[in-house]
Structure 1
């Protein structure tokens, strides 16, 4: 009998009050308001470590949601990713109280230079003993662009062009600037690092000029595990070249499979094996010891969900709650001078009332389940076997009840079914945990061309990317 596919289990988090479950920070016993207290992150890390989670995925933004109602007031009122703190800074504290838990953290390639970021990630990889991954984003909020001195967003595909060069720079730093045996730490001779095994990278490109050398010695993984969330043509091509683990999804199994297939094809175009990619979906799970308990919890979550928060998060171009419920979306958009293409997911003849009802459950679809542990495990097995999903980012409705309930009720059931293995006795790097191979990037990955200083002097346009 073939071995059953194993689930990659992450908790979806953010260093803020209201991440993606808007209004639910007000639930009784919810700890979301403690996000800026280090004890919150220590407690969460220990819960996830003890509960069998592989990792925590930390989202981030570098701007406020200020399109809905023409400003950031709704976001501030709702705590919608405002205030929001730096996600990188909680990782060392969480790592200090865990041995196995991995950390995926979001950082944008659009607005900050690659040299300092490469140093931060190498430092985190050292401090976590190789348990860190980077979620590569290019940023999409107009306010983010204005925070970094621009008048408006960088065009979508142009952001990916910048990101491609950003990756080239950090690969040179992480993979090419130091040899593995550069650190000799010879106290007798007074030599710590062999300078013959450390080198400049001398990158000169369209967007960046970076001399090097990298200020950090090789970390356990050298390059952190490379995550990406995407679905656009430019993003898919980028993922095929760079990503190891992709956050994607779809309203149906067919949507997910089509997205995954396009990314695997892109990986092959860039000289990689399509099977090297793993795919994780955002999943909502509401579990109870009985069907009634699960249904009651889900009913409460729906009742407390904030429509304003969802609309602000989606940068909705008109103020739906202020409009007559019988008015059509098409008429409302026309009256506001907004093109129908701004909300392609709503038919023009949909009424405002119908649209508001849809918004409340807009995140629940194929990858949502409410029920007993057995019902939840059945559905997760269906995602793994029928859809081809590799893992989930568990959406938090309540901190810490969502993670605790999953750990106490669902994890034992998944282990009984052979879908989650017991932890190994000794810690592994995040790449080893996710892929079952070594701690470093596989040979076919484009970053590996720089190992040992190779190709550093070759003009970037002359390198083979596919």
Structure 2
């Protein structure tokens, strides 16, 4: 059996402190340059040189204020605050690259589907079909308060709203305009044939969109769809809609459980389970030798902030870890935070007990996923082991000391994976969906729910 290629996404957020908290203080870190366009263009070019599928830009819509009931710890460590919009640098990065895709996190809870569909169609046009959307429903009360609500919607209600949101954007992307609606015919004076543009006429519980889409179709029509929720509701949503799923797990057996769960949901939704691609978050610290890599890790760990990690994970889980005994085991509770993150350190691995202090120390550099440390050979061995044991398609690679950790991976690990035949040497297609499914596949597969909305004469 031919071993599958390892697909890679570079993971960043337009902020200083994302997965590794406190490492912005390292003298090699350029994280503070997140406001500079050159920082993003150089990142995109580096990842394309490494033949990555995409740059995935995470996002958060509110300050992290759960820890101690205030935002102070997040501000001190620069944890996702300050943060900039993930969409606005994409067109510049696309202009500086030819093949790299770009996936951004955008919340269905706080967008309007009519305007959001146009934003993504615009990026579909400007990137030549290299755009993806990480669908989130948002878990921060601070986001809800600042975006017009007194408190956030309950966890499962957010997913019910997201289901209708998807119905609306699918109609806007797929069914409003025919492929040949734009004539651009100077002889007849007709730019768009009005008989080939139809109103959406959506009337639902949460959204009303009676008219046509404002935009003509892009290369992809529907952007490549990612999802990261691994709660019961999240797995169901991913099985119905996701083409790529982002996972957080610190053991391959845990990741395999999540993979199997989403694949079962995909089958239940009438989809080919193999069409859903799975990417586990991982951090790689690599050097020429194992000893040099371990020394590099120790150097990075000396800058990690335990309090900052507690503040970040308090917000993710919606549990104020400052109010708990740092050395007593964390117990699972139902929250309106990211339930998959709560499960990660409570129920998914019955063989291990996690305390808040142990969590903070563990995620200090690795950010909640595996930490692969060693020579290129050692790292490649571990990546292959995870691929095979967890049934993964690839990894979301974090960049705790940007751009050093990405550059080290591209210069040291990518050649080793290519030598083993586990990474592409050249891109075979030009669009992000072609990276998933092969040359020529630019539109959603026939078994994807968006396909049901395709324009028909």
Does the TM-score normalized on the shorter chain lie above 0.5?
Answer: yes
Correspondence for 2:281 = 282
Correspondence for 2:312 = 313
Correspondence for 1:372 = 375
CA distance in 2, matches of 1:415, 1:134: 28
Secondary structure, aligned partner of 2:191: strand
Secondary structure, aligned partner of 2:245: strand
Deviation at 1:264, TM superposition (A): 1.0
Q: Indicate if the aligned counterparts of 1:9 and 1:55 stay in contact, CA closer than 8 A.
A: yes
CA distance in 2, matches of 1:170, 1:24: 39
Correspondence for 2:430 = 428
Name the CA shift for 1:60/1:13 in 2 (closer, same or farther; >3 Å): same
Name the CA shift for 1:343/1:386 in 2 (closer, same or farther; >3 Å): closer
Among residues 393, 403, 416, which one is paired with 1:400 in the alignment?
403
CA distance in 2, matches of 1:268, 1:77: 46
Name the CA shift for 1:358/1:159 in 2 (closer, same or farther; >3 Å): closer
Correspondence for 2:333 = none
Mapping for residues 291-310 of structure 1, pairs under 5 Å: 291-310=290-309
CA distance in 2, matches of 1:41, 1:269: 40
Correspondence for 2:335 = none
CA distance in 2, matches of 1:366, 1:214: 40
Secondary structure, aligned partner of 2:105: strand
Q: Which moved more, 1:218-227 or 1:190-199?
A: 190-199
CA distance in 2, matches of 1:419, 1:43: 25
Q: Which moved more, 1:390-399 or 1:116-125?
A: 390-399
Name the CA shift for 1:343/1:181 in 2 (closer, same or farther; >3 Å): closer
Q: Return the TM-score normalized by structure 1.
A: 0.89
Q: Which runs of 5+ in 1 are unaligned?
A: 331-341, 348-352, 455-466
Q: Indicate if the aligned counterparts of 1:249 and 1:259 stay in contact, CA closer than 8 A.
A: no
Listed one character per residue, the Cα deviations across residues 368-406 of structure 1 (whole Å, up to 9, x for unaligned) are 210000001111111122221111000111111111000
Among residues 408, 414, 423, which one is paired with 1:411 in the alignment?
414
Correspondence for 1:221 = 220
Deviation at 1:343, TM superposition (A): 7.4
Correspondence for 1:360 = 361
CA distance in 1, matches of 2:249, 2:76: 30
CA distance in 1, matches of 2:51, 2:93: 15
Q: Indicate if the aligned counterparts of 2:61 and 2:143 stay in contact, CA closer than 8 A.
A: yes
Q: Indicate if the aligned counterparts of 2:283 and 2:369 stay in contact, CA closer than 8 A.
A: no
Name the CA shift for 1:383/1:222 in 2 (closer, same or farther; >3 Å): same
Q: Return the TM-score normalized by structure 2.
A: 0.91
Listed one character per residue, the Cα deviations across residues 189-244 of structure 1 (whole Å, up to 9, x for unaligned) are 11111111111001000000012311111100000000000111111111111111
Name the CA shift for 1:450/1:357 in 2 (closer, same or farther; >3 Å): closer
Secondary structure, aligned partner of 2:267: helix
Q: Indicate if the aligned counterparts of 1:346 and 1:355 stay in contact, CA closer than 8 A.
A: no
CA distance in 1, matches of 2:6, 2:186: 46
Correspondence for 1:8 = 7
Secondary structure, aligned partner of 1:125: helix
Q: Which moved more, 1:355-364 or 1:97-106?
A: 355-364
Correspondence for 1:134 = 133
Listed one character per residue, the Cα deviations across residues 75-116 of structure 1 (whole Å, up to 9, x for unaligned) are 111110101100000100100100011101100011121100
Deviation at 1:273, TM superposition (A): 1.0
Q: Which runs of 5+ in 2 are unaligned?
A: 331-340, 348-353
Name the CA shift for 1:366/1:102 in 2 (closer, same or farther; >3 Å): closer
Mapping for residues 29-428 of structure 1, pairs under 5 Å: 29-315=28-314, 316-319=319-322, 328=328, 345=345, 355-362=356-363, 363=366, 367-424=370-427, 427-428=429-430
Q: Indicate if the aligned counterparts of 1:302 and 1:360 stay in contact, CA closer than 8 A.
A: no
Listed one character per residue, the Cα deviations across residues 15-43 of structure 1 (whole Å, up to 9, x for unaligned) are 11111110001111211001011111111
Larger Rg: 1
Deviation at 1:284, TM superposition (A): 1.2
Secondary structure, aligned partner of 1:145: helix
Deviation at 1:450, TM superposition (A): 1.2
Listed one character per residue, the Cα deviations across residues 249-271 of structure 1 (whole Å, up to 9, x for unaligned) are 43322221111111111111111
CA distance in 1, matches of 2:423, 2:16: 30
